[in-house]
Chains A and B, each alone.
Chain A
């Protein structure tokens, strides 16, 4: 049911772990639903120089966390802010329909971390405010 890429990232997760003194940390999901994702970011000069994750969840939750961290390392924070769950799912050669919420969770975890960073550094403006507004709640209906 999973693509080879999903299985690869599940079996050999990239960037699993914690960043000490991370510049931003985002946690989404809840144990009740069976998935929690926490993303740690190291940001220098507006660029994500390192990203790590810790995830409690199913195979695709772990794989999307791993893929999301791969996709954002080396990118500017403005680029990272544009990360979509669809892009994460596509990079994994697709996810089963009932697992798309895992990719949404990855997107939201990244955005939750960035929100903390943008807030701390006074970077929230009228252009990006709406992006953060979407990260408030994680739900399972996302496509």
Chain B
């Protein structure tokens, strides 16, 4: 076995995050002491019920909504599925047309495809080279039979933050419901449902220092949404099944902390991100930054290194003690590189050489230089092996 590096620098916070100590502490009693079923009437049941409702209130407060507008789910993916398929079912009489973007998370894209199989028509809006959806394109795409528009708040791969407020206003003016997947945006940007023209919004706990297996869907009061699971009366009869009490408690605490720290955290992460971007673009040739230069998630940097492939890059970085991710085909489990990188216009071979670095709570500016030094070595090594680099040196390089 290859020796593992002593210390791992975790740079994949967009994939998941470590559960924060404060969150774990809040959760633990709900595994052992307060193990009651929230639907039970005796004391420990009531304690659990109260904990679930406190968590709901905390999340509502964090996003400026009312508690009854927050529904717990098992994941961000479940929230996306519920929003799209649920709204489609409830408003079918109005029409069977949806609008979304080409760079959505698969939870949204594959839900759209499932609806297409049931006869729905979906407009997939393109994005520009920075990954931005043009609100004017949204306006043009809306039709009298459009039921829902779903545009993600911020992209998970390239970090681009969409003009959500503007898109939401357009939808509202046209009487079209608007959903946004805020799984990556939560804790990174300020989200206030009192001012945002958003009707449904998906969240996930494990991206913000909470546990895996819990998500939430914000549903603005007045929006009709059929029940996702039938059974007991949990989640106001919309999602039956005994609540994941410790998970929900953890989510509530994590969201409360993330919202309180949002501005400070965003500024701190953006400084690390910008230092990393400047160092990599300035110190390694044939690299490009993917995503918008400024309208991007504070912790996200996404690069494409020409002449090399992303999976080998990840494996070698792992050996140097850095955990990152890539949009190459070999890491996506398909033959095509990431749909997001293709949608911003990258040729396949450039998309294969992508690297996503996502900084989080445990990273600091001190991580930038070691990452850069490791990248210099790893990129040079893979380029030395690459026939594409040879060809470049023999042709363009000589010019």
Contact = CB atoms under 8 A, between A and B. Distances in A.
Given A34-B352, A140-B335, A56 B386 contact: yes
Interface string B290-319: 000000000000000001111110011001
A58 to B, nearest CB: 4
Interface of A: 4, 7-8, 10-11, 13, 16, 18, 27, 31-38, 54-59, 61-62, 98-99, 140
B328 A58 contact: yes
Interface string B371-399: 00000000000001111111000000000
Nearest 5 A-B pairs (CB), nearest first?
A31-B349, A58-B330, A58-B311, A34-B352, A32-B348
A135 B193 CA distance: 60
Nearest to A99: B330
B2 interface: yes
Chain B interface category by residue count: 20 to 34
B277 interface: no
Contacts of A99: 330
B335 A33 contact: yes
Contacts of B385: 13, 16, 54-56, 62
A13 B266 CA distance: 42
Secondary structure at the B interface, as helix, strand, loop or mixed, is: helix
Nearest to A29: B387
Given A34-B328, A54-B386, A98-B333, A10 B315 contact: yes
Contacts of B384: 16
B246 interface: no
Contacts of B348: 31-34
Contacts of B387: 27, 36-38, 54-56
Contacts of B352: 31, 34
15 contacts: A8-B2, A34-B348, A34-B352, A35-B309, A38-B387, A54-B386, A54-B390, A56-B307, A56-B387, A56-B388, A57-B309, A57-B312, A58-B310, A59-B315, A62-B312
B309 A34 contact: yes
Given A31-B388, A34-B329, A58-B311, 8 more contacts: A8-B2, A13-B385, A27-B387, A32-B348, A34-B309, A54-B386, A58-B330, A59-B330
A53 to B, nearest CB: 8
Contacts of B319: 11
Contacts of A27: 387
Contacts of B309: 34-35, 56-58, 61
A112 B316 CA distance: 29
A11 B335 contact: no
A59 B388 contact: no
A4 B335 CA distance: 24
A86 B377 CA distance: 33
Contacts of A37: 387
Contacts of B197: none
Given A32-B349, A34-B329, A34-B349, A58 B335 contact: no
B337 interface: yes
Nearest to B1: A4
Contacts of B337: 34
B381 to A, nearest CB: 10
A56 B311 contact: no
Nearest to A98: B333
Contacts of B312: 10, 57-59, 61-62
A61 to B, nearest CB: 8
